[in-house]
A and B are shown apart, each in its own frame.
Chain A
């Protein structure tokens, strides 16, 4: 009976997506409720997608080139943020002197969204890869620190006592007890950070860039090509979803046995 229900719901889901596309098609391509320069129909969007795979018009690069350029910058900033943020978060939670001196500074920059730094970095470093990577770095750093910190703080006192009973040294307690406890939270941080990195990158590319998906959709807006904007948005969404899915796979592998949902 449960299986039947699942199949029924799956059918409803597929129908629902199809219905939206059909309504979209009817509204734009049949009834012409809005002109294509404002709201293109699904056929037009699909054609633009195919075109954009090979054509460099109107913004000087193919879809793949933009995609690759964005991914490169995002991963660079993200990797830096993760490599520094996770150990820093762990150190802040584990050592109270680090906590006492670093956390106040951290609390100062935490409420500032990463993308608010864009203008400053652009003035300082120009519109090249450095300023974009820095913005992404900051966004990823904050998410990684917050989550690693909370994760380590969740270590149970009794578990550390067990460590003491068996004569574990401080570093053994950190690596064998506290970090495994924190692992699910650390992974949550890494996933959140990837999301914010990707968002920050799009923002940076919208504002000042010469390549990348954000640049592509901004250019398309300037010449009123909403079909290319929608292609770009879907590409941005797809990359974000793929990144998230990949990290989730790693998470399941690494944090086996921990409470991963």
Chain B
């Protein structure tokens, strides 16, 4: 692994932590002071009000459900769509990267579809699938699918040809090379794709819920907008940030475990 120059020594870690606390503390104080002492407070609620609202709503009621339930609705949609989308994406991407004929057939179609952001599919998916879960899962499927396909394809294409020669020399058949060499060699770039896919899926589910839904975090913030309720919007945004953060962490941990061979032993 290449070592960057600007890495800190471990003794700097405490300084970093202190600075981080100061920065976040200053931000909160500024936010608090700004809303408490100036006219800004008429438009934006302070940090304490937002925290209280989250505390109240977590198991209480925002709209028809608790915040936890809203998180659950959004997550369930993401999980189903992401699982299907990434499975199909990885399979198609690897096939396209490894078999020239698969690339010739699917790549032009993929290239036409890919530049259309999943969010732009919202109106047509409502016409096709109605207002229920199917439309949302379809959108998240699209978000996960296009990112994983691209990265899996790049991964399969960049397998070291010498490693493939080594497998041939050891007697592996075409199919064995695909399953035992191309697939594992592509895992790091598949994961890079999955990282992008999960954050894109998260953004897409919010957009879908904002356009048409009666539950979920996206609904929560858009309902806040319709009721002129800034506290609800901000508490929704905070929850969105927390979930987004947790999703990213889970993906990173999974990558660490599955790609252990890819890192130099420290």
Contacts and interface: CB of A to CB of B under 8 A. Distances in A.
A112 B128 contact: no
A104 B23 contact: yes
Interface in B142-190: none
B123 A221 contact: yes
B88 interface: no
Interface stretch (A57-65, A76-84, A118-126, A248-256): A118-126
A221 B126 contact: yes
A157 to B, nearest CB: 4
Interface string B43-67: 1100000000000000000000000
Contacts of B248: 111
Contacts, number: 183
Contact of A105 (B23, B106, B120, B225): B23
A213 B128 CA distance: 20
Interface string A25-42: 000000000000011000
A113 B120 contact: no
Given A111-B244, A113-B244, A221-B123, 10 more contacts: A13-B105, A39-B128, A100-B16, A111-B248, A112-B244, A119-B233, A123-B225, A157-B5, A218-B123, A229-B127
16 contacts: A8-B104, A14-B108, A16-B104, A17-B112, A96-B12, A100-B20, A100-B23, A113-B199, A113-B206, A116-B240, A155-B6, A206-B119, A207-B210, A221-B127, A234-B116, A236-B116
The 6 closest A-B pairs by CB, nearest first: A111-B244, A119-B225, A113-B203, A100-B19, A221-B123, A237-B116
Interface of A: 5, 8-10, 12-14, 16-17, 20, 38-39, 93-94, 96-97, 100-105, 108-109, 111-120, 122-124, 152-157, 160, 195, 198-199, 202-203, 206-207, 213-214, 217-218, 220-221, 224, 226, 229-230, 232-234, 236-238, 240-241, 244
Interface of B: 2-6, 8, 12, 15-16, 19-20, 22-24, 27, 43-44, 100-101, 103-109, 112-124, 126-128, 199, 202-203, 206-207, 210-211, 218, 221-222, 224-225, 228, 230, 233-234, 236-237, 240-245, 248
